[in-house]
Copies of this chain bind each other. A is one copy, B any other.
Amino acid sequence: MAVSAQDVMALRERTGAGMMECKKALTETGGDPERAISYLREKGLAKAAGKAGRAAKEGLIYTYIHPGDKLGVMVEINCETDFVARTDEFRQLAKDVAMQVAASNPTAVRREELDPALIESERQIYRTQVINEGKPEKIIDKIVDGKLEKFFAEACLMEQAFVKQPESTVGGIVQQMISRLGENIIVKRFVRFRLGES
């Protein structure tokens, strides 16, 4: 069945699961959001903890301009209440995420938001590399998958090593903040302008 973008977005907000996962869940469950949540939980894709299942519609827009004014980042970070959005800790998280984007130039927030054509093209490149290296056929897929995981860890904001504390990922830092502030928190989107780039 056809699933509307609004339903997918609403399910994402309630579960924190990826766009493609939510779309699949709705498709499989005839568009029933409650059954879709159960489906995602069964698959382990909805963050089972109550907090991560709650709607995050508040938050803030935060910008970071690198000294010199040649590089700027804008992020939207959501939480559940305006009260939390106004805390120093939430604001600090927004600043950290914006500076992370400035420093590490991710392609997307989550791997589900990467262009599937880009992923396929990376996969092909890795496959060709591995074949050219003369690796045995039976381990090629495994090596390619490993290289793709490394690519995701660089391209996806939530999987990047957090610049201020590289033993955690950005997603891990967000999880910590969810525990500390007691609300679901979602890094919704970012944009990065460098002077002269299109």
Contact = CB atoms under 8 A, between A and B. Distances in A.
Nearest to A75: B193
A134 interface: no
Nearest to A189: B193
B61 A85 contact: no
A107 interface: no
Given A69-B85, A72-B74, A74-B74, A61 B189 contact: no
Interface stretch (A52-60, A138-146, A157-165): A52-60
Contact of A72 (B57, B62, B85): B62
Contact-size category for A: 20 to 34
A90 to B, nearest CB: 10
Interface string A22-60: 000000000000000000000000000000000001111
A61 B70 contact: yes
A4 to B, nearest CB: 13
A148 to B, nearest CB: 27
Nearest to A194: B61
A93 interface: no
Nearest to A69: B60
Contacts of A73: 74
A198 interface: yes
Contact of A61 (B9, B57, B62, B69): B69
A7 interface: no
B57 A196 contact: yes
A62 B69 CA distance: 7
The list of the 7 closest CB pairs from A to B, nearest first, reads A61-B72, A63-B63, A60-B69, A74-B74, A191-B191, A61-B193, A76-B193
